[in-house]
Amino acid sequence: MRAEISFVSGQQDRAGWVRVGHNADFTNPDAVWKLRLVSEGETVSKVDGAALHFQWNNDAAGTGWQGAFRYVITIRLGSASGEMIKQHANDLSGKSGNWNVDRTDWGFLPDTDYYLCLNVKEQTPISYSSMKSFSTTASVDNLRSKCAPPTGIVIGDGGFRTYRAPGAGATMQILGGGGGINNAFSKWYIEELIFSDSEGTLVDWHPAKNGEEQEDASICYATSRTVTIYPTKTRGENKRYRIRAKGAAGDAFDSETVEFSPNICTNRLPATCTDLLLDKLRIPPAQGLRLSFAGGGDADGNLQFYQIRATDENGEIYSGGDLGRQYDTAKKYVDIELAEHADAFCAGTKWKFQVRGHDGLEAGAWSECTPFVEIGGVVRIYNSNGELREAVPYIYDGTGLWKEAVPYCFNENGIPRIGI
């Protein structure tokens, strides 16, 4: 980006100088310069910082007036009579000097003509001696533009909501944005807003915090586009972020602050299952059974599956493998598969079962236990071909109905146990 400035018009006092102020006939001509900032491949939308330099010399007017005076420069768009964009006034005194006007809010658009109209602010004629002379060779330098704002963020896998357990971080990727003209990018300033689903619009923004909920300069003043962010420790709370880019030219040249929609949310555990019901309380070895239940579910809508845990009559939890899962979470039952665990779930043992939900991040609490299930012995009989086959024993109950039976035998201590 380069600045082109040229003298356009004014009442010439002598070569290289122009009069500004009141003539003897009470006319009040402006001194006018044209300014154009020519882009050279930059992608900035406007230039906010620039220093305008004017040299003035009272002696050049031949008046010798030394009093203080106040001048104003009016920036107009397109012509000396065009739309006023900005004004800047300044008090000067003495015979001569340099007037340097360095502002951070000009808002000049690249490749656009601006006219700088310079004159006395007060329009009441006083005398010919109010005339001052300004050099026609004005200059412009120290061009600066604001940082470019970020255009988006991606949290985790890129969804609208990213769930994490309390204290567990997620990656946030910052897209777009960066430095400006003579304003190299230095860091991002990241703020967060905590809210819950039941709350409306909130305005309590504060610098981003870490997993211990402490303000963390490495997060809220991040220099990288990839930042690790953290949910709160309160389950069900969400965080939203807003970000601006900061550069070497100072705070006045920060980008706009942009608020983004994607949230990081503190995961809520799946609800506890209730009202457990087994379809059998006595089974032969390797036979499965079905555990039905009520309750369960997940307030965040992230439930992945239900799983089973077994505990024997000595209080030992079975750790030899998965006993069954239900991935269709609309179904409130799990089929418990024991065939691959027959060494543990053998005849003569008793087991009780529990169920819980899992959301892919964390598991809910285990349910209450079922009653004990007894693993019965194996009865073998000869079939019609003389082959020995396993059978399920049945007997008549007191009402004359067939019921499945569990065979018992005496152990070495003379105590009846479920037999083999």
| Per-residue pLDDT tens over the stretch 257-268 | 999 999 999 999
Checking if the pLDDT of 125 tops 60, the result is no
pLDDT of residue 64: 44
From 36-40, 68-72, 294-298, the region with the lowest mean pLDDT:
68-72
Radius of gyration of the chain (CA): 42
The pTM of this model reads 0.76
pLDDT of residue 93: 74
Checking if the pLDDT of 34 tops 70, the result is yes
CA 305 to chain centre: 29
For the segment 223-227, the average pLDDT, to the nearest whole number, is 96
pLDDT of residue 128: 42
Tokens coding 103:
């502002």
Q: Using 50, 70 and 90 to split pLDDT, how confident is the model at 362?
A: very high
- What own/partner pairs with CB < 8 Å and gap ≥ 24 does 317-324 have? 318/344, 318/351, 320/344, 323/353, 324/288
For the segment 278-294, the average pLDDT, to the nearest whole number, is 92
Domains and CATH numbers, the chain: 2-144 (2.60.120), 152-266 (2.60.40.10), 268-420 (2.60.40.10)
Q: Using 50, 70 and 90 to split pLDDT, how confident is the model at 419?
A: low
Mean of the per-residue pLDDT values of the chain: 87
320-351 pLDDT, tens digit each = 999 999 999 999 999 999 999 989 999 889 99
Q: Which residues make Cβ contacts (< 8 Å) with residue 18, sequence separation at least 6?
A: 7, 10, 11, 12, 31, 133, 134, 135, 136
From 73-77, 140-144, 385-389, the region with the lowest mean pLDDT:
385-389
131-189 pLDDT, tens digit each = 678 899 999 999 999 999 999 999 999 999 999 999 999 999 999 999 999 999 999 99
pLDDT of residue 245: 98
